[in-house]
């Protein structure tokens, strides 16, 4: 065992993970340069090495739970690239209108068929609500119903859906609650799907940036958008919702949240999954909301994201051959790493899922929480 391997094993010993062990959470290393790569590049090197087939793990989600729960990644020093990215984040806005289109092209425009393999029938790509559900389909419908109930959506009301994804919420709100919906998104593939599946309903779909929305609405939702706007734009997101919301209206923000205020996201996630993304912290959201809204309710069901991610990964299993043929083995391993490591991060409560209900001026008599 050379000194690089010994260093990695010393770190893994803290969480009872063995190199080339026989337990499901142990790491099987196939390339001797793996240890030097991880020590030099941190989580970026770890993820890229997995994509390249340099190592494997039978239960990657369990390994991630152990490693992230103990904060072991902090024991590997970041490389120069990460340091420079942190400096850039301090100086510039990493989520300008031009840069915001990068994640749409790289991630969301992979093709609707691929996401249809992974997601439920409504193409919900945010955390499901598993309180009483026994399947992904039930849990995603429960999430949509929860949102509509939290904003007290009534027939005939006009809802602004910032981000909108594949239009699942817009269709649900129109069909089940008789609402009129204006939805905005910059992903061509998602908007094409939404237009087809919301046809004939009172749903207006606008291919525009959330910052450019005009009009007044009874309710506003942002489901899975905040993670992409970047910390320099949190206030702009809140101002957009505030400007468009009528007096007495409610705004629901559904977002992954971080336990800590960070300058940059994980470098592997930034490069391969969600470019220029950033998970908001309570401190940053609080600052962005200050002077605009009253916080009526803050609901954390982050543990449900573990089950959601594992369901997505299970849904892809029957399609692995087709994914391999279309995108290649490296892409397939990239998605395994992404979904399973993220599941582990929610399992150890490293990341959270928040639904925050905000009002203009406060709900007279008090807001009744919905769970």
Averaged in consecutive runs of 10 residues, what is the pLDDT profile of the chain (371 residues)?
A: 91 97 98 94 95 98 97 69 44 53 62 95 98 98 98 98 97 98 95 96 96 96 96 96 97 97 90 92 98 98 98 98 96 98 98 97 96 96
Instruction: Supply the pTM of this predicted model.
Output: 0.92
The three-state DSSP-derived secondary structure of the chain is CCHHHHHHHHHHHHHCCCECCCCCCCEEECCCCHHHHHHHHHHHHHHHHHHCCCEECCCHHHHHHHHHHCCHHHHCCCCHHHHHHHHHHHHCCCCCHHHHHHHHHHCHHHCHHHHHHHCCCCCCCCCCCCCCCCCHHHHHHHHHHHHHHHCCCCCCCEEEEECCCCCHHHHHHHHHHCCEEEEECCCHHHHHHHHHHCCCCCEEEECCCHHHCCCCEEEEEEECCHHHHCHHHHHHHHHHHHHHEEEEEEEEEEEEEECCCCCCCCHHHHHHCCCCCCCCEHHHHHHHHCCCCEEEEEEECCHHHHHHHHHHHHHHHHHHHHHHHHHCHHHHHHHHHHHHHHHHHHHCCCEEEEEEEEECCCCCCCCCCCC
Which of 57, 127, 198, 342 is an active site residue?
342
pLDDT score, position 207: 95
- Domain boundary assignment for the chain: 3-77, 93-301+350-359
pLDDT score, position 311: 98
Domain 93-301+350-359: homologous superfamily in CATH? Vaccinia Virus protein VP39 (3.40.50.150)
Active site residue 57: no
pLDDT score, position 111: 82
């Amino acid at each position: 065992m050379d000194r690089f391997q010994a260093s990695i094993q010393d770190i893994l010993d803290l969480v009872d993970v063995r190199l080339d062990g026989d337990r499901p959470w142990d790491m099987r290393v196939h390339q001797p340069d793996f240890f030097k790569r991880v020590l030099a590049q941190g989580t970026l090197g770890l993820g890229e090495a997995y994509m390249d087939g340099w190592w494997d793990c039978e239960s990657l989600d369990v390994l991630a739970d152990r490693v992230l729960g103990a904060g072991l990644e902090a024991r590997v020093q970041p490389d120069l690239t990460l340091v420079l990215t942190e400096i850039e984040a301090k100086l510039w806005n990493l989520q300008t209108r031009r840069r915001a289109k990068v994640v749409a092209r790289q991630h969301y425009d992979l093709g609707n068929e691929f996401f249809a393999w992974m997601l439920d029938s409504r193409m919900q790509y945010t955390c499901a609500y598993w309180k009483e559900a026994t399947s992904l389909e039930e849990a995603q419908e429960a999430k949509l119903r929860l949102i509509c109930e939290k904003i007290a959506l009534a027939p005939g009301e006009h809802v602004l859906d910032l981000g909108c994804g594949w239009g699942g919420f817009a269709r649900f709100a129109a069909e089940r609650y008789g609402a009129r919906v204006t939805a905005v998104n910059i992903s061509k593939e998602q908007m094409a799907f939404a237009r087809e599946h919301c046809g004939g309903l009172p749903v207006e779909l606008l291919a525009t940036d959330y910052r450019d929305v005009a009009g007044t609405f009874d309710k506003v939702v942002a489901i899975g958008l905040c993670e992409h706007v970047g910390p320099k734009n949190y206030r702009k997101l809140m101002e957009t919702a505030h400007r468009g919301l009528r007096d007495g209206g409610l705004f629901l923000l559904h977002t992954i949240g971080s336990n800590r205020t960070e300058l940059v996201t994980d470098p592997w996630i930034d490069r391969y999954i969600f470019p220029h993304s950033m998970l908001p912290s309570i401190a940053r959201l609080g600052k962005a909301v200050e002077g605009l809204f009253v916080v009526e309710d803050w609901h954390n069901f982050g543990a449900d994201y573990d089950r959601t991610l594992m369901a997505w990964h299970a849904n892809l299993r029957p399609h692995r051959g087709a994914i391999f043929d279309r995108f290649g083995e490296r892409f397939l391993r990239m998605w395994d790493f992404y979904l399973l490591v993220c599941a582990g991060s929610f399992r150890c409560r490293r990341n959270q899922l928040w639904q925050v209900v905000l009002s203009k001026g406060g709900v007279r008599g008090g807001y009744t929480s919905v769970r």
